[in-house]
Amino acid sequence: MFQLPFPVRDANASSGAGDLGKLPEWDLSDLYAGEDAAELSRDLDWLQGECAAFAADYEGKLAELDAEGLLTCVHRNEKINNIAGRIMSYAGLRYYQLTTDADRAKFLSDVQEKVTVFTTPLVFFTLEINRIEDAKLDALFEANADLARYKPVFDRIRAMKPYQLSDELERFMHDLGIVGDAWEKLFDETIAGLTFEIEGEELGIEATLNFLTEQDRSKREAAARELARVFADNIKIFARVHNTQAKEKEIIDRWRGMPSPQMGRHLSNDVEPEVVEALREAVVAAYPKLSHRYYELKRKWLGLERMQVWDRNAPLPMETTRVVDWEEARATVMEAYEAFDPRMGELAQPFFDKGWIDAGVKPGKAPGAFAHPTVTNVHPYVMLNYLGKPRDVMTLAHELGHGVHQVLAADQGEMLSSTPLTLAETASVFGEMLTFRKMLEKAQTKEERKVLLAGKVEDMINTVVRQIAFYDFECKLHAARAEGELTPEDINALWMSVQAESLGESFDFMEGYETFWAYIPHFVHSPFYVYAYAFGDGLVNALYSVYAEGAEGFEDKYFDMLKAGGSKHHKELLAPFGLDASDPKFWDKGLSMISGLIDELEAMEA
């Protein structure tokens, strides 16, 4: 089943105003000129024929192939993945530009159904790979170095061996994927179609969420209450989507014999469950010295007896409200990237010049932001909802980091370029860190430095603490759904059970905040995705510490790591830097960087 890109940032962006300059839009013609393009029809026809031919040539025969024969088979599979990925990338990206357009939605659905039908005969490929004896496969790798390059792919495929169903059931699961995608589209279209009224103006969800970073507290409160009102009006739809998706996952996991709802995500991330649990435990244990301590500082800065949820992302009182136009945002990020290494600037430049970024907020456009790699012989596309606040600059730095990573990994080919989620956040979070450090370096006053430090701490708390709280919510949600249908009130209660713990004693929670789980896309599109953010932030904090210490050859090692794509396990990738994510102390190193920034903020108050 070929998946669509989806927004991967928990957008807490800003309410933009004024002239942002000329915002770039996607030019999707590098994929196809249009939905009626001759090349698209040609590729659909080729895909149908090649999938049938591939099955005829190889089904029931994989175990008999010699090393050269298996390599040819792998190359043909990669070409199929490339063409299918190109088609689905075009349809998906076009849809996300205007999710409320019926013609785009229909085109996406029609294309997805065709690709699913065409690729169903290929289900045998991974099933038969898992039936090859270990000794036979090892001998084939030893006999052919080009084939051995694909060993990491085979290892990931074979990790699913204990959970593999019969060939007939696997084909059924493949076909049924279309139904699950329909629920995802219902979620996307519902979110994109929501309207909110703030100060007599009708807004979409992005602009409304962005009010939560307004300097005027009354505007923040108005936005929070309006979000709660609209979410409550639609809560039955969101509860139905979550109930259905969680139940479908529970059924599939039960048939596969998965030991936990999270196991499938751990396998796809190529990460050990105990490593994730060590991360989770380290973050939860650090709540008091991170989020609890920071928000108590912020409460004092804001002059409040108690914080409300609409104060969580409020700007500081001394922060100057200003609009960062597009050219300034571009220049800021490019300067930071080029200062690290000129190669970073060269890789980032085409995103701005060649229609690889879609930046503006438009009615019906998907919320959030993402970087979609498309296929290895085209290029990534970055989506933003840019409204001109400093945090939007950091989102640009983040998504551009993804894009640079995807460009560098493309040489690995379709099967090896894709990076597990836990490592996919490396370049994006590192790009944010570079941009932050460059801005901090330029700070001219104590107040300016304080604002920058606080903003970075808040971003890190949103990336680490908030995402682990999200992960705990999902764990509770899936465990509860396994016991029976969940009412909206049940889901609300699960959401609130993690909020106070993660945010701390400084907060009160308004009536209606219990519904704020409803708009988070990750829970629907990619269950248990969220811990990858905390993993990535912790990893990058540890990595940046090595860089800041002046480690010799760091830049070359960093580029080698990004170029590796999905060809290496996290242990192998981090070894050149003297780091090991399976060491519980590793996470303390990353969390200490956040704690150290809070120490600096506290020292400013002395």
**CA distance linking residue 524 with residue 63, whole number of Å:** 38
29, 73 contact by CB (below 8 A): no
State pLDDT tens for residues 110-166: 999 999 999 999 989 999 999 999 999 999 999 999 999 999 999 999 999 999 989
**CA distance linking residue 407 with residue 432, whole number of Å:** 18
**CA distance linking residue 556 with residue 296, whole number of Å:** 41
Q: Which of 552, 538, 548, 550 is nearest to 580 (CA)?
A: 538
- Percent above pLDDT 90 for the chain: 82
How confident is the model at residue 14, as a pLDDT?
36
Alpha helices in 381-425 (DSSP H): 390-409, 414-417, 421-424
208, 227 contact by CB (below 8 A): yes
How confident is the model at residue 53, as a pLDDT?
98
**CA distance linking residue 344 with residue 337, whole number of Å:** 5
pTM: 0.83
**CA distance linking residue 490 with residue 276, whole number of Å:** 26
Burial of 14 per CB tally in 10 Å (0-12, 13-18, 19+): buried
CA angle 194, 196, 198 (to 5 degrees): 165
Distances (CA, A) of 447 to 336, 351, 451: 22, 33, 6
State pLDDT tens for residues 556-590: 999 999 999 999 989 999 999 999 988 878 998 88
State pLDDT tens for residues 417-470: 998 888 888 999 999 999 999 988 888 888 889 999 999 999 999 999 999 999
432, 457 contact by CB (below 8 A): no
63, 131 contact by CB (below 8 A): yes
pLDDT for 8 beyond 50: no
Residue 16 pLDDT grade (very low, low, confident, very high; cuts 50, 70, 90): very low
Looking at residues 467-479, what average pLDDT do you find?
Answer: 98
**CA distance linking residue 76 with residue 84, whole number of Å:** 12
How confident is the model at residue 3, as a pLDDT?
45
Looking at residues 346-363, what average pLDDT do you find?
Answer: 96
Dihedral sign from CA coordinates of 340, 342, 346, 347: negative
Q: Which of 532, 537, 546 is nearest to 574 (CA)?
A: 546
CA angle 288, 509, 456 (to 5 degrees): 50
State pLDDT tens for residues 509-564: 999 999 999 999 999 999 999 999 899 899 999 999 999 999 899 999 999 999 99
Bridge partners, 42 (sequence order): none
Q: Is 425 helix (H, G, I), strand (E, B) or coil?
A: coil
Helix axes of 531-548 and 426-442: crossing angle, nearest 10 degrees: 50
Residue 389 pLDDT grade (very low, low, confident, very high; cuts 50, 70, 90): confident
**CA distance linking residue 254 with residue 335, whole number of Å:** 51
**Residue that wins the pLDDT comparison between 390 and 74:** 74
State residue 437 phi and psi, 5-degree precision.
Answer: -65, -35
How confident is the model at residue 277, as a pLDDT?
95
CA 304 from chain centre, in angstroms, equals: 34
**CA distance linking residue 570 with residue 583, whole number of Å:** 12
pLDDT for 17 beyond 60: no
How confident is the model at residue 18, as a pLDDT?
53
Q: Is 55 helix (H, G, I), strand (E, B) or coil?
A: helix
pLDDT for 6 beyond 80: no
Q: Give the number of residues written for the chain.
A: 606
**CA distance linking residue 291 with residue 545, whole number of Å:** 21
pLDDT for 11 beyond 70: no
pLDDT, averaged across the chain: 92
pLDDT for 321 beyond 80: no
Residue 331 pLDDT grade (very low, low, confident, very high; cuts 50, 70, 90): very high
